Structure 1
Amino acid sequence: MTAAEDIRAASFPEDSEAVLAIFREYVASPSVSLDYQGHAAEFASLPGKYAAPDGGLLLAWQAGAVVGCAAWRRVDTERCELKRVYVRPAARGTGLGRRLVERALTLAGAAGYRRVCLDVLPEFTAARQLYAELGFTDDSPVSFNPIPGTAFLGRDLPYAPDETIRACNSNS
C-alpha cells in the first residue's frame, strides 16, 4: 500500500455517492453491456447484498478520492461471490487491485465463508492473470453471465496473502 492509500469498508450513507460513482464507472468500462446484472436495482438499494454480515464493500482511497473498489455477497452458507473489483485507470499498475482482492478474501474468510467464486469477462486479461496468481481455478457459475468467453473461477478460503503466509512460516 502506498503511504497515501487507504483501503477500508464503505460506510453508508456517508460513502453512498462515492460507491455509486465508481460502480457506475465499472459497469460502463467493459466493451459489452452489463445490463443483464440488474445493476440499476442494485445501485438503488446499496449496500443491499453487500451489507454485513453476509457481504462487504471496500473502497480504496488516494489523496481523498476513491480509486478502487471490491465487494462480495453471500451465495450460500459456504460460498460468497467476489463482485465489482475495479481500479480506476490512473491507479492501475500499482498493485492496488491485488491489495483490494487480498483484503476482500481475508475478510470473506473471517466472515466464515469457505469458498469464494467470481466471473471475469474475457477482455479483463490483467484480472484473469491476478486471479490465477492468487490461486483461483475454473469453477462452476454461481450467477448468470451470458457473455461468451467469461471465466468462472473459485478458490477455497480461509485466505492469507503471501506476506502473511511468509510471516507465519518464518515465526514457526
Structure 2
Amino acid sequence: MISIIEASTDNDFNQARELFIEYSKSLGISLEFQNFDEELKNIPGMYGVLGGCLLLALDNEQTIGCVALRKIDDNICEMKRLYVLPDWNLQGIGKMLAKSIIEEAKIRGYRFMRLDTLPAMKRAISLYHSLGFYRIEPYRFNPIEGALYLELDLTSFSGSLPLP
C-alpha cells in the first residue's frame, strides 16, 4: 500500500537526497544553475523549515517517490523535485504526490504555486495541466531552451486525493 509522509527524520532526508540524485540523473542535464550540490547538502534547511515541506511516497517501507515545496514569498511557493522511481511509474503516484504537496501549500496559506519544467517532460507537463496549472512568464533563471513556467491558483484548487 502506498502512503505519503512528510520527511522529518535524518533517514527521511537521506532517502530524499538519494531520490533527488536519481531525479537529476534522469534529466540528463546539469542542475548546477540551481545550486544543486548545495541543495543536496541542505535539504532539511531548504524544505524542512521556513514555509517549506518535503513529502515522500512509501510502498510499505520502501521510499519510491518525493516532492518538495519551497517558499518564494508569503503568497507564492514553488513545487520542486517531483520524482517517482521508474519501477513505480504510471501508477498514479506522481499525481498523488503532486496533489498532496498542493494541499500542504494550501494549509501553509500560500495563494499560488509555481514550478518550472523541461519541454521533454511530456508526462509531467500533462499532469500539471490536469491539475490546473497554467503557463506564466519566467519567474527565475533556467538556461534550458524552451523551459516552461507554470502556476496554480491554490484558491481554486479542490482536487481530492486519489488512491494509486
> Smaller-chain TM-score range?
over 0.9
Deviation at residue 163 of structure 1 after TM alignment: 6.2
Aligned pair partner of 2:145 in 132, 144, 148:
148
1:16-57, Cα deviation, whole Å (9 max, x unpaired) = 221111011111111222221111111111212212341100
Q: Do 1:135 and 1:155's aligned partners in 2 also have CA atoms closer than 8 Å?
A: yes
Aligned pair partner of 2:127 in 126, 130, 154:
130
Segments of 4+ moved more than 4 angstroms: none
TM-score by length of 2: 0.92
Q: Any idea what SS the aligned residue of 1:47 has?
A: helix
Identity %: 36
How far apart, in 2, do the equivalents of 1:12 and 1:46 lie?
11
How far apart, in 1, do the equivalents of 2:50 and 2:109 lie?
10
How far apart, in 2, do the equivalents of 1:16 and 1:82 lie?
17
1:161 aligns to what?
159
Letter in 1 for 2:158: A
How far apart, in 2, do the equivalents of 1:104 and 1:56 lie?
8
TM-score by length of 1: 0.88
Question: RMSD over aligned Cα, in angstroms?
Answer: 1.5
1:163–1:101 Cα change, 3 Å: closer
1:101 aligns to what?
98
Kindly name which structure, 1 or 2, has the bigger radius of gyration based on alpha carbons. 1
Structure 1's unaligned 5+ residue stretches are: 165-172
Structure 2's unaligned 5+ residue stretches are: none
Residues 1:65 and 2:62 are matched in the alignment: yes
Letter in 1 for 2:30: S
1:77-116, Cα deviation, whole Å (9 max, x unpaired) = 1100000000110010001000000000011011000000
Letter in 1 for 2:125: R
Letter in 2 for 1:160: S
2:23 aligns to what?
26
Letter in 2 for 1:34: L
